[in-house]
Amino acid sequence: MKIPQLDFMTTVVAVFELQGNIVKKFEPGKPGNRELIIGHLTGTSPIIITDLHCEKAQLLMQDMECRCTIKRLMGEPIHNFMNNVVTSFQGTHININQAGILAWAPKLLQDLMAADDRKMDFATICSNSNWVFVNGKSTFKLNFEPIITRHSRPSDMFFHDGHDGAGNRIQFWARSKFDKQMAISARVRKHVIVDDIQTTILNYVKKI
């Protein structure tokens, strides 16, 4: 069963908002995004669709196609999942079997826009970032203000990306989550350039 592109993507956006701007999987008695999309498109479980949903769907497709085009022109790799999502909604009609992957389209764009905001934060806060301390085994103290805190399931560790309050970019992995400004002790692992910003990578990080 094939559905006109805009009708399909408008439903995807409406369901995403209905679910609280997240993607939910199916649970007994609780349909996930995929099931709600299919239910509406087949007419078995219609939901309310507005012109605003339609406008957001158009912007979503334009934004993601533009991102892919820019990456191709710049010779940068496109993430496989993003490429699959964009490929799935291209064309005048979309097969209803694509409901599962396209249910993630609004969440993907949400994450991409959040990443854009974080890059802007770093570009503003860390515009004059310098490397902190020196490489070696010496432990030193500093204040850490997180901008990004992300959990990795495979390693069961948290990645932290932020600054020291003086505009110097700091990154490290830790078993504990440092999700607010705090004093820490650490050692310098290495100095690198991240997004054209001098960044200090730490290890042996502890809360003070």
pLDDT tens figures, 44-67: 999 999 999 999 999 999 999 999
Query: What confidence tens digit (pLDDT) does each residue in 105-138 have?
Result: 999 999 999 888 888 888 888 888 999 886 667 8
Do 112 and 191 belong to one domain? no
Q: Is residue 54 part of a domain?
A: yes
Q: What pLDDT is recorded for position 116?
A: 87
Query: What confidence tens digit (pLDDT) does each residue in 139-171 have?
Result: 889 999 998 898 888 889 999 999 998 999 999
* CA–CA gap between residue 5 and residue 12 (Å, rounded): 11
Domain hosting 182: range is 140-207
Do 43 and 102 belong to one domain? yes
CATH number at residue 193: 2.40.50
Do 155 and 96 belong to one domain? no
What 172-181 contacts at long range (C-beta under 8 Å, 24+ apart), as own/partner pairs, is 172/201, 172/202, 172/203, 172/205, 173/203, 174/205, 176/207, 177/149, 177/151, 178/144, 178/146, 178/149, 178/205, 178/207, 179/146, 179/149, 180/146, 181/143, 181/144, 181/145, 181/146
Give the domain-ending residue among 120, 150, 185. 120
Q: What pLDDT is recorded for position 192?
A: 93
Do 17 and 80 belong to one domain? yes
Residues 6+ positions from 177 with CB-CB distance below 8 Å: 149, 151, 158
Query: What confidence tens digit (pLDDT) does each residue in 5-42 have?
Result: 999 999 999 999 999 999 999 999 899 999 999 999 99
Q: What pLDDT is recorded for position 32?
A: 96
User: How many domains does the chain divide into?
Assistant: 2
Task: Report the range out of 71-75, 101-105, 152-156 with the highest average pLDDT.
Answer: 101-105
pTM here is 0.72
